[in-house]
Amino acid sequence: MYLNSMKLPHKKLQDLKNVGKATLQDLHLLGIYSVSDLSHHDATELFQQLEKVTNKRQDPCVWDVFAAIIHEATTGEPTTWWSWTSKRKDLQKSGKSLHVI
């Protein structure tokens, strides 16, 4: 199991640093209702699923938010979503497309 339960004993999704109303709604749309559920996912996977479910092209910063909250869910360490932007851009430069729509 990825989640360090000692670091996140009773956190809810909305307690994570980068989860606001819109992100919480997106996570619920994707069937994610707990920090434990979230800890088993990948930012690219969630981003692409969200595009498919909504049939809309998502802002790439949504990937950054997903990466930040997954990191917090798995390590207990909150980070800013924009600290993940360079990693996303590196993925995009390597030829990996985030978008499926």
* Residue 87: inside a domain: yes
Give residues with Cβ within 8 angstroms of 84, minimum separation 6.
43, 63, 64, 67, 68, 71
The dihedral through the CA atoms of 49, 50, 51, 57 has a sign that is: negative
Query: Whole-model pTM?
Result: 0.89
Element (H, E) at 52: helix 43-54
* Residue 1: inside a domain: no
At 10, the pLDDT band (50, 70, 90 cuts) reads: low
Domain range for 86: 17-93
For residue 2, what pLDDT is reported?
46
Number of domains observed in the structure of the chain? 1
Cα-Cα-Cα-Cα torsion 28, 29, 30, 32, nearest 10 degrees, comes to: 10
* Residue 8: inside a domain: no
For residue 14, what pLDDT is reported?
96
